[in-house]
Amino acid sequence: MRRLLTLGALVLAGSIGNADAATITFEDLAQAPGNELLFNNGNDPISGGFLFDAANHSHVGNMVWGTDNGSTFMVVDEFLGPDAITVSQIGGAPFSLTSIDISEAQGTSFFSARQVQITGTVFGGGTVSRLLSLDNNMVDNVFGNYFQTFILDADFGNLSSFTLTGVGALAGQGSNYFAIDNVVVGAPVPEPGTLSLLCVGSVYLFGRRRSMSVR
């Protein structure tokens, strides 16, 4: 019976953690290599069922601003004033953030962000934050794939939104260019206590049903 309880808990935990996982690739806004679209605040892009709300403006392009991963991605910068991108699901439902690809951008390391601050707003209240450090290996005026994959921990498992802000560019304000792609999101992950209750309840119902069938 103990083995059955453990197996049931693991199966349920795995099914919740992987439910409805999806990767936002911006290919629903696909651009040809060398092309881009400019989105001003109030006319922000929607991709994969999520709103990418810029404080000022954003770009969606392919092989632009010095970086290239062979697909369409989004670029954020402070050229027209302090900028950040806030991401939320259309309809306001909670979600988990598993990972995200980030690259320096602009074509010169002098204007690219050195770090990206990610701040998640927890569904129901509170925030979580993490400072993501870029490797800053962009070669000036040489296109290359400078994207890095950042894995987020369980603190980002129940969000109403998250915000990305570029910081640390050598050029200071008016720069801090960075690009994002392959944003992996999914169903919200319950708190450990809630997950334990769900597992025990599920296994109890399974055991009760099995007992009744034996009778």
Residue 115, CA atoms < 13 Å, CB-side half-sphere: 8
Q: What is the pTM of this model?
A: 0.82
Q: What is the CATH T-level fold of the domain 21-186, as seen in this structure? A: Jelly Rolls (2.60.120)
Overall average pLDDT of the 80-101 stretch:
97
121 contacts 177 by C-beta, under 8 angstroms: no
Q: What is the mean pLDDT of the chain?
A: 86
pLDDT category at 191 given cuts 50, 70, 90 is: low
Sign of the CA dihedral with 199 first, then 153, 90, and 48 last: negative
Query: In the chain, pLDDT over 70 holds for what percent of residues?
Result: 80
61 vs 198 pLDDT, higher one: 61
Report phi then psi at 198, rounded to 5: -65, -40
Lowest average pLDDT, out of 17-21, 42-46, 93-97, 188-192, goes to 17-21
pLDDT at 20: 74
Token pair 């993490």: residue: 130
Per residue in 106-151, pLDDT tens? Answer: 999 999 999 999 999 999 999 999 999 999 999 999 999 999 999 9
Angle between helices 2-17 and 192-214 (to 10 degrees): 130
* pLDDT exceeds cutoff 70 at 7: no
For residue 189, name the pLDDT band (cuts at 50, 70, 90): very high
Domain boundaries, the chain: 1-19+192-215, 21-186
CA–CA separation, 109 and 140 (whole Å):
6
Q: How far, in Å, CA of 69 to CA of 150, rounded?
A: 16
For range 58-67, the mean pLDDT: 98
pLDDT at 66 over 60: yes
